[in-house]
A and B are shown apart, each in its own frame.
Chain A
Amino acid sequence: MGEIILSLKNIKKRFGETEVLKGISLDVEQGEFITLLGSSGCGKTTTLRIIAGLEEPDQGQVILEGRDVTKLEPHKRNVNTVFQSYALFPHMDVASNVAYGLKIRKVPKTEQKKKVEDVLNLVQLGEYGKRYPSELSGGQRQRVAIARAIVNNPRVLLLDEPLGALDLQLRRQMQIELKRLQKRLGITFIYITHDQEEAINMSDRIVVMNQGIFEQMGTPDEVYNHPLTSYVARFVGSANIFHRDGKAYAIRSEHVLFSKEETYPYRGVVKEKSFAGGQLRVLMQLPDGQEITASRHGIDAQVAEGDTVCLGWEPDHAVPVRE
């Protein structure tokens, strides 16, 4: 266990009638890459804004490096944020954008210049110092936003869906680059996304959020292979939730076996076949109305819509979960 750099203690926050955060707690270790994963409106951005000081919680504490910063204004906190919209200052060129935090902390001019140069080289934008944000592509703006934050050497870097506006290819590339950058700098990253692939690829630890609570915290392996709740199983593993004898089990679609000939414990009717992302998905309905999806690589499958099939799974692959 490393040193705890940031703690959230029972944070609650409501906006008007809606309770956005219902008492969340979290300990983040120094140098950790931690991802808050959840669909929109689950409270992940609010959590980030509370850490940054842009919102004040109604209840609970934010402890940064052993100090209670709950009521501290954002400009006095040693955390920096990469905003979803990047929030680059349109009237300043790239170098001035990046130097802004240093300028405010009155870092000597020559040192500022050196640091800005270094960090721009680090994000592969060495040549772009004199450009304005409006003259950059989405991916380049994204890098500037990261450079502007990390140049201040924050203890914790907060990233609010930083890759959300990029296309898929660029996003994959930036995922790798970000992860590499994080390892190299050793800065603690708190990363927000609604993309479970992104979370699994990059994180040391994933926090799955749903409706203002933390459903599960753990390594990518834990949340993917051992979901504790049906929400986590569905959201992270796109798993089927199978009910039997008043209990719920999560079964990932690639683990569902089905066949017309062989004997498996359940019978079902094929309702739908679809092909997406290199995967064939077969939706089957059980006599009691429950639906189970199976997935296979490739397009080969010997069943057609309307066929009655046998289906089942290895006992190990049915993970008991809470509703």
Chain B
Amino acid sequence: MKNKTKLPGIFLGIVLVVMYLPILMVVLYSFNEGKLIASWKGFSLDWYVQLFQDEEIWEAVKNSLILGLLSCFSAAIMGTLGAVGMARVKWRTKGAVEYISTIPIMIPEIILGMVFLTFFHLLNLPNGMVTLVIAHTAFCIPYIYMMVKARLVGMDKALEEAAQDLGATPVRTFFDITLPLILPAVASGCLLAFAMSWDDVIISIFVTGPRVTTLPIKIYTQMKTGVTPEINALCTVMLGVTVLVLTLSGFIQKRFQKKQL
């Protein structure tokens, strides 16, 4: 039977118009010589030069990187151990526990932000990098947990048993067999989590202190004074980094799948 539906074409058209056209505009106008968004004055890299000379921007980049790396790292450890641990137990409440561990992805960020703000306030924890890292770690864990869990589900349980059968202690089995096999999942989970942390603005605004600005917050606050081409340039750079990270994540997963039996 010939498939004559036009739906895929329509879908693609809508996606291109509402999603990629605006992105293209932003990227294009970041190379605009003029200061106004509305008119094209010619190609120029001036805004990028200005952007890279802006010390506040560099400070924000530094904060975003530190935040992303620290929260990814701690989320990777907790998410991985959580997934490995949960794969071993046969609790009756397992389903509930797994639901609880992944639900932060579904909760609206504005609520999470509120919740964290209240929580840190109750703990008397001053807002700043520490609170940012805690909050970001919390919402990064589910990404890594889910990735590693998916990997563990596809893994032959007999592999770990074979290692123990050959004389490996459970700890040794983890480092020799389990970890190498789930590492690609951990890595791509980390990259995904990093991408989430890298562009988070809502939760960050709630839990950050007056002296710590991340890159997305910087963009958000600058927008209040109008959309400048410099912001366009910054968005383009961020977009580039995000796409790079996500592509890398996908690439790791693909390559890894090929190597499997």
Contact = CB atoms under 8 A, between A and B. Distances in A.
Interface of A: 52, 54, 73-75, 79-81, 83-85, 87-91, 100-101, 104-105, 132-134, 148-149, 152
Contact of A73 (B158, B159, B164, B172): B164
A148 B166 contact: yes
A104 B156 contact: no
A146 to B, nearest CB: 13
A134 B166 contact: no
Given A85-B158, A89-B159, A80 B165 contact: yes
Contact of A90 (B165, B169, B176, B260): B260
Interface string B149-174: 00000001011011111111100100
Nearest to A132: B259
A123 to B, nearest CB: 17
B159 A87 contact: yes
B260 A100 contact: no
A83 B172 contact: no
Contacts of A89: 159, 162-163, 177
Contacts of B123: none
B172 A104 contact: yes
B158 A83 contact: yes
Nearest to A98: B166
B260 A105 contact: no
Contact of B261 (A73, A81, A134): A134
Contacts of B161: 52, 54, 74, 81, 83, 87
Nearest to A74: B164
Given A75-B167, A133-B261, A134-B259, A83 B162 contact: yes
A141 to B, nearest CB: 8
Interface residues of B, number: 20
B44 to A, nearest CB: 50
B126 interface: no
Interface string B173-207: 00011001100000000000000000000000000
Of all A-B residue pairs in the complex, the 3 with the closest CB atoms, nearest first, are: A87-B158, A101-B166, A87-B162
A42 B260 CA distance: 32
A51 B156 CA distance: 21
Given A54-B161, A83-B158, A87-B159, A104 B261 contact: no
20 contacts: A52-B161, A52-B165, A73-B164, A75-B165, A80-B166, A81-B161, A81-B162, A83-B158, A83-B162, A85-B156, A85-B158, A88-B162, A89-B159, A91-B180, A100-B166, A100-B176, A104-B168, A133-B261, A134-B259, A134-B261
Nearest to A91: B180
Contact of A54 (B165, B169, B176, B259): B165
Contacts of B176: 100
A105 B167 contact: yes
Contact of A101 (B167, B177, B181): B167
A139 to B, nearest CB: 15
Interface in B131-151: none
A133 B167 CA distance: 21
B256 to A, nearest CB: 10
Nearest to A134: B261
A54 B166 CA distance: 12
A152 B167 CA distance: 10
Nearest to B260: A90
A105 B167 CA distance: 7
Contact of B181 (A83, A84, A91, A148): A91
Contacts of B158: 83-85, 87
A100 B181 contact: no
Contacts of B164: 54, 73-75
Nearest to B160: A87
Nearest to B165: A81
Contacts of B172: 104
